[in-house]
Amino acid sequence: MNSRSFWTSETQMFYEREQIVKAEGCYVWDSSGKRYLDFNSGTWNVILGHSRPEFKDVLLSQLKDFEYIPNVRFFHKTGVDLAEKLLNLLPDEFSHVYFTSGGAEAVETSIKLARQYWYNKEKKGKTRFISLYESYHGSTLAAMSLSGDPWSRMPFDPLLKDFLHIYPQYCYRCRLGLQSGSCNYACLNDLKYQIAFYGAESICAIIIEPIMGVGGVIIPDKKYLTDVVNICRENDIIVIFDEVTTGIGRAGNYFACQEYDIYPDIIVFGKGISNGTQPLAGIIVTAEVFNEFLSPEIANQFRHGFTNSGHPLACCAGKTQLEIFERESIIPTCREKEQLLKMKLDGLTNKPYIGEIRIKGLMVAIELIDPITKKELVIDSLDIKLKEAGLVVSQMCQVVCLMPPVIITEDQIDSALGIIEQVIEQTLNI
């Protein structure tokens, strides 16, 4: 079957894709019968593995009552149940959940919410946003404007105005050319300088991934993230954590902010919330943020929405996901699998083409270097070569990124790492 009429991102029709006919557990099968080990968890979202039967049962049950209602005028119980489950995971200051269909929509929602928050407070000059270089927040225009990933941005520049970028705490490849331990957190000085230069009175919010995903699984330490939040709070700047990737188990907890014990004003979530069975994402806000919109005046209300926001089928999937997490103790299992991955990955650290391995929860970055020059090593289409060998991963330039499901076994980890080692060494002729 030819797929050329089915246009999706990145493939651009330069090669024929495989037609997937079955997915189960950690594997997917194409129409020729070939099996692939999915260490990408779909698009980092199928954290429980493929084809969990519970989702089929609840979605069918919901369809017997109604398939859709507009949440502008009505609501449904499953949406309330899911919102309450999410809020019960977080400190009491978080009070409301706004559902969307995907992570980019959720980021767009947080941008508009933050802008209108200051508009309602009569601080209309606070319009600028700060984010990190190398970050990724989605494919829509405002989300892409926030992103610090140049490859996504270049065809569309100039993008929206008033989006500022600062350096991340990427110690292995410090963009300031400094060394960890003696740098005195110069990347934090970058944030302070931007605030001083443009003026806190002009800055609306900062949005950051507590652990960068597409940027290469860049993991900051607790002091950096705590200081970022405190600097912004001192300057009356809203803090938004983009946890589309890190949320719902991926970073070893329900949210990465719980791991750091530092909380923003707005949490953006997505990916893992429905295990890929339905399009679902959203934002979680504090009561302080929500109350600025609690007004009989239409001008002060949040006049924003999408047709499928809070879709009953999607909320059923999200509720089922969290019930499975509770029933099967998925968070402790995530941490156990993190330790197993660490132990197995130690076997790669002595390879001459491995620069650094970073891991947090079920997020792994294998940073490649040239065995001779020790500079970053970008192997063209390495992800395609790995797929041909039966392993699905993500490649971000010099970084091989593993985002496996929580159900991975020791044998599957051994198999995945063996394929990575074999393909790289064949490519480098070593």
More confident residue, 295 or 240: 240
Q: Which residues contact 75 (CB under 8 A, 6 or more apart)?
A: 310
Q: Do 238 and 204 meet the contact criterion of CB atoms below 8 Å apart?
A: yes
Instruction: Report DSSP letters for 344-407, one per residue.
Output: HHGGGTTSTTEEEEEEETTEEEEEEB-TTT-SB---TTHHHHHHHTTEE-EEETTEEEE---TT
Residue 18's pLDDT band (cuts 50, 70, 90) = confident
pLDDT surpasses 60 at 322 = yes
Residue 14's pLDDT band (cuts 50, 70, 90) = low
299 burial level (CB within 10 Å; 0-12, 13-18, 19+): exposed
Instruction: Report DSSP letters for 143-210, one per residue.
Output: HHHH---HHHHGGG-S-SSSEEEE----GGG-TT---TTTS-SHHHHHHHHHHHHH-GGGEEEEEE-S
Cis peptide before 155 (omega within 30 of 0): no
pLDDT at residue 179, rounded to an integer: 83
DSSP-assigned letter for residue 220:
-
Distances (CA, A) of 21 to 28, 34, 54, 245, 405: 8, 10, 20, 26, 19
pLDDT at residue 73, rounded to an integer: 84
Average pLDDT score over residue span 162-169: 87
Backbone angles phi, psi at 194, to 5 degrees: -60, -40
Regarding the domain with residue range 20-52+331-428, which homologous superfamily does it belong to in the CATH classification? Aspartate Aminotransferase, domain 1 (3.90.1150.10)
In angstroms, the CA 363 to CA 354 distance is 17
90 burial level (CB within 10 Å; 0-12, 13-18, 19+): middle
pLDDT surpasses 80 at 143 = no
pLDDT surpasses 90 at 212 = yes
Percent of the chain's residues with pLDDT above 90: 79
pLDDT at residue 314, rounded to an integer: 97
Q: Helix or strand or coil: residue 69?
A: coil
CA 334-336-338 angle, to 5 degrees, is 70
pLDDT at residue 172, rounded to an integer: 87
Q: Helix or strand or coil: residue 322?
A: helix
Indicate the helix (H) or strand (E) that contains 324.
helix 312-327
More confident residue, 277 or 160: 277
| Strand order across the 27-30 sheet | 20-24, 27-30, 35-38, 391-392
pLDDT at residue 154, rounded to an integer: 66
Q: Where are the domains of the chain?
A: 20-52+331-428, 56-327
What kind of architecture, by CATH, is found in domain 56-327?
A: 3-Layer(aba) Sandwich (3.40)
Q: Helix or strand or coil: residue 325?
A: helix
pLDDT at residue 286, rounded to an integer: 98
pLDDT surpasses 60 at 406 = yes
Reported pTM? 0.94
* Structure confidence by residue, pLDDT tens digits, 182-195: 898 999 999 999 99
Q: Helix or strand or coil: residue 305?
A: coil
Residue 134's pLDDT band (cuts 50, 70, 90) = confident
Average pLDDT score over residue span 371-393: 95
Average pLDDT, the chain: 92
pLDDT surpasses 60 at 13 = no
pLDDT at residue 159, rounded to an integer: 66
Percent of the chain's residues with pLDDT above 70: 94
pLDDT at residue 152, rounded to an integer: 66
pLDDT surpasses 60 at 20 = yes
Backbone angles phi, psi at 42, to 5 degrees: 70, -110
In angstroms, the CA 393 to CA 78 distance is 34
Tokens of 254: 């329900």
Tokens of 378: 């970008």
DSSP-assigned letter for residue 17:
P
In angstroms, the CA 70 to CA 31 distance is 38
Q: Do 117 and 289 meet the contact criterion of CB atoms below 8 Å apart?
A: yes
